[in-house]
A and B are shown apart, each in its own frame.
Chain A
Amino acid sequence: MESLPNQLSNDRILVRKVLTGDQRAFSQIIKETEGLVAQIIFKMIANSDDRKDLAQDVYLKVYQQLDRFRFQAKLSTWIGQIAYHTCLHHLERKKIALVPIGDSDREPSPGFSTPFENEIEGQLMREELSQLVASAMDQLNPIYRTLITLYHQEELSYSEIGQIVQLPEGTVKSYLFRARKALKAHVLRIYNTNIG
């Protein structure tokens, strides 16, 4: 991974090139950031056609607004922010529930989880756990799923995630606590349903 100052100067060079009409530079920006954009769109949006359309929308917006980018964050973070909010508006337009915080992500009763926790100790098969976690992620609400992915898979800092979702770091941390708790609850629930 590149250091922040190097990344910022690389960003400046690329942005300047795009603003003087160099489309190959924009193509390079897309290739460097589409991994992050894919993570956000795939975690927020279920329909595969919508995902492709939104991905293109995101980069058309980036292109239109690039002259307003002031390098206060990494270019990838700024693009992530556009991707996240494009998805958010899409979900709002389609009236899809966003953050059912507290209710749907409830935890099973304590005794319920014991068999699984014991098996974890006894080395539950790796693939089995991987499938469990993938299914549990699918059951999380879009925002929790995105936050967990950005932190644990993309390894972004709280501050970078805060810039993407435009929330204070403290709020990001508290959402992440709830998100992990909900994820663990889903894993246990699916496991217990499977063995039950």
Chain B
Amino acid sequence: MNTSHLTDQQIQLFVFQQGNEFEPWATHMATCKECQLKATLYRSVLEEVANLEKPVFNIDLASQVISQLEPIKPSIDFSRTLVGFIVLVLVSWLGSIVYWTSHELASLFTRLSSMATYLILLTSSSLLIFLVISLYQEFLDKMKRLTLS
């Protein structure tokens, strides 16, 4: 009888990593009762591990985590309120100008030189574009912070 039994590590390799390189051990395993018992023990124990009940959290983890992520709604409402407020101020400002100068408005553009009209249009449109861009950037910043927070 062959007395050079497989080492513990060899038995584990034989049981858990079946492959051609373990052929020489297979011959010994086929005839040695002692090594067979050790292999059976490993196989049975680790098969039971695979069958153990899997743990689960007894809470709704997803809801609990999501509820802690961030207060998304208030921030969006805040930026909407801000935009609304700015629009309101602009409209009432323009409205009062129109109201107080309505009697002179008709002659406004006829009396202005073309260069002055051009300058006024350029300044006001630049201001408007700047305002829109900065508002949009502020909005993007907020969204980014919300996503990453």
Q: Which residues of A are in contact with B by a Cβ distance under 8 Å?
A: 18-21, 23, 26-27, 30-31, 34-35, 38-39, 42, 51-52, 55-56, 59-60, 63-64, 67, 113, 116-118, 120-121, 124, 129-130, 132-134, 136-137, 148-149, 152-153, 177, 180-181, 183-184, 187
Contact = CB atoms under 8 A, between A and B. Distances in A.
4 A-B pairs with the lowest CB-CB distances in the bound complex, closest first: A42-B55, A133-B48, A30-B62, A117-B37
Given A19-B147, A120-B37, A120-B41, A59 B65 contact: yes
Contact of A129 (B44, B59, B66, B69): B44
Interface residues of B, number: 36
Contact of A60 (B9, B40, B49, B65): B65
Interface in B39-72: 40-42, 44-46, 48-52, 54-57, 59, 61-66, 68-69, 72
Nearest to B33: A121
Given A31-B62, A177-B12, A121 B40 contact: yes
Nearest to B37: A117
Given A60-B65, A63-B69, A64-B148, A121 B42 contact: no
A38 B55 contact: yes
B55 A39 contact: yes
Contacts of B149: 64
A133 B45 contact: yes
Contacts of B65: 26, 30, 56, 59-60, 63
Given A21-B146, A184-B41, 15 more contacts: A26-B66, A27-B63, A30-B61, A38-B54, A42-B55, A55-B61, A56-B65, A64-B149, A117-B41, A120-B37, A120-B41, A120-B44, A152-B49, A177-B12, A181-B12
A30 B44 CA distance: 33
Contacts of A27: 62-63, 66
B42, B68, B147 — which one has the most chain A CB atoms within 10 A of its CB? B147
Given A55-B61, A117-B41, A180-B12, A153 B49 contact: yes
A130 B47 CA distance: 9
A60 B68 contact: yes
A102 B52 CA distance: 26
Contacts of B41: 113, 116-117, 120, 184, 187
Contacts of B46: 148, 152, 180, 183
B51 A130 contact: yes
A35 B62 CA distance: 12
A27 B62 CA distance: 5
B50 to A, nearest CB: 5
A155 B76 CA distance: 44
